[in-house]
Amino acid sequence: MPKESRAAMSKRWLSERKREYYHLMAKKEGYLSRAAFKLIQIEERFHLFKGARKVLDLGSAPGGWLQVASEEMGEEGLILGVDLQEISPLGLPGVETLVGDITSDDTLNEIREFFQGKVDVILSDMSPDVSGNWDLDQFRQIHLARVTLVIADELLQRDGWLVVKTFQGAEHDLYVQEVREMFEQVKIVKPKASRKHSSEIYLVAHRLKSPRRLPEGFRPEEEEEC
């Protein structure tokens, strides 16, 4: 059987995506990405936006999670989306965006200045640039998840919520244990809106422990060049 050409593969992928339920629903409901339904399903289960006033969304492009957070919180919410990519203006009340690298001190200082205090919810749907090397990609994903823990340690309210995406792999079980050392309640969730064969899952954590311990020897500036 002849090998499928790159153009044919691309055409098939686009055709399958167009038929996908959540992709079609996102277009119908006006969401910028199918990922919006992942957060909707997490919110329906955990009610993490109940009473929330400040939300930090990491890896927020193209803005689907910002849309959901704004819908849940209304005009009184203060929401900041941070991403390496610029996000087109959303025209949503209380929503601001920042182009920046969360491993950078400059970006962290801008986040601190924006909120002027603690936040109620931290969301992270971040993914690394995919290299095609699964072990490397999973390592990079867990690194981003650990950076998120460092940020949560500083900026999250004691009774706050953390939602962070991870990829299942060699480091995943260790990362789950690290989150459990920081939070009183930790649940592992795979929303229905996640693709069936995707290795992504989400950790939903509530209430920071006191005292608590960050991943041993980990600091954002320690990222190695890959």
- Residue 70's nearest CA partner among 100, 41, 28, 31 is 31
23 and 48 assigned to the same domain: no
Confidence class for position 224, pLDDT limits 50, 70, 90: very low
- Is residue 102 within 8 Å of 147, Cβ to Cβ? yes
- Residue 81's nearest CA partner among 103, 68, 96 is 96
74 and 21 assigned to the same domain: no
24 and 71 assigned to the same domain: no
Number of independent structural domains in the chain: 2
Confidence class for position 38, pLDDT limits 50, 70, 90: very high
pLDDT at 134 over 50: yes
- Length of the chain in residues, anyone? 226
Domain of 106 in residue numbering reads as 33-222
pLDDT at 90 over 50: yes
Q: What is the pLDDT of residue 169?
A: 78
Q: What is the pLDDT of residue 154?
A: 96
66 and 157 assigned to the same domain: yes
47 and 156 assigned to the same domain: yes
pLDDT at 225 over 50: no
17 and 97 assigned to the same domain: no
pLDDT at 183 over 90: yes
187 and 201 assigned to the same domain: yes
52 and 125 assigned to the same domain: yes
- Is residue 120 within 8 Å of 105, Cβ to Cβ? no
127 and 189 assigned to the same domain: yes
165 and 153 assigned to the same domain: yes
Q: In 10 A of CB 201, how many CB atoms?
A: 17
For the residues 111-139, what does the mean pLDDT come to? 88
Q: Which two tokens stand for residue 115?
A: 């909120």
Q: What CATH number is given to the structural domain containing 161?
A: 3.40.50.150
Return the H-helix or E-strand segment holding 83.
strand 78-83
pLDDT at 55 over 70: yes
pLDDT at 111 over 80: yes
CA atoms within 13 A on the CB side of 117: 7
pLDDT at 162 over 90: yes
18 and 74 assigned to the same domain: no
From the list 11, 27, 38, 165, the catalytic residue is 165
pLDDT at 216 over 80: no
98 and 208 assigned to the same domain: yes
The yes-or-no answer on residue 118 being catalytic is no
Q: Who wins on pLDDT, 157 or 200?
A: 157
DSSP-assigned states of every residue in 207-219:
EE-SS--PSTT--
CA angle 44, 49, 50 (to 5 degrees): 90
Q: What is the pLDDT of residue 219?
A: 46
For the residues 184-188, what does the mean pLDDT come to? 97
